[in-house]
Structure 1
């Protein structure tokens, strides 16, 4: 079981993803904004992985990654970018974002598999 920080501004996607990850055995704490994510990271500092929406209002997912990397409790936290609006892979900071293996087929199952790999 992984402790997952899930950040997505879309309530429906956030709730659906959180439920699926919880069914998969993970403990999920959600945030709707970058500021809320940073507050949650302060309150619950021991996450195994963060799942970030690539398209957040005001602060894009890659900018949030910079904030997480600069924060003492999340500096080394593995990050998965997961976006409903990314039809193809994008590269930011040398990471593969919205990888087609995550967005094609059964994306929530693929996300669950990725989290399982990162948290072991």
Structure 2
């Protein structure tokens, strides 16, 4: 079981994703904005992985990644970018953040498999 920080501004996607991850056996803490995510990361015990929406208000996912990396408590946190709007794999800061399987087919199952790999 992984402790997952899930950041998505769309309430329906956030809730659906959180439920699927919980069914998969993970403990999920959600945040609707980058600022809320930073607060959650500071207030809760260490997370095993963060799942970030690429398209967030006031800061895109890559900007939030920079903020997480600047914080000593979250600097080494594995991050998976996940977006309902992405049509292909995305790369930020030279990292491969997702494969096409995360944005097509059965995206929640693929996200769950990625989290399982990162948390073991």
Give 1:116's aligned residue: 116
Tell me the C-alpha RMSD between the 2 structures. 0.8
Offset of residue 98 of structure 1: 4.2
- Alignment partners' CA distance in 2, 1:78 and 1:23: 21
CA contact (8 A) 2:54 2:61 kept: yes
Moved more, 90-99 or 76-85: 90-99
Equivalent residue number for residue 36 of structure 2:
36
4+ residue runs of structure 1 moved beyond 3 angstroms?
none
| TM-score of the pair, normalised by structure 1 | 0.97
Matches within 5 A, 1:26-105: 26-105=26-105
Equivalent pairs, count: 120
1:25-76 Cα deviation digits (max 9, x unpaired): 0000000000000000111131000000000011000000000000111000
| Pairs within 5 Å for 1:2-13 | 2-13=2-13
The 3-state SS of whatever aligns with 2:91 is strand
In the superposition, the TM-score normalised over structure 2's length comes to 0.97
Structure 2 segments unaligned to the other structure (5+ residues): none
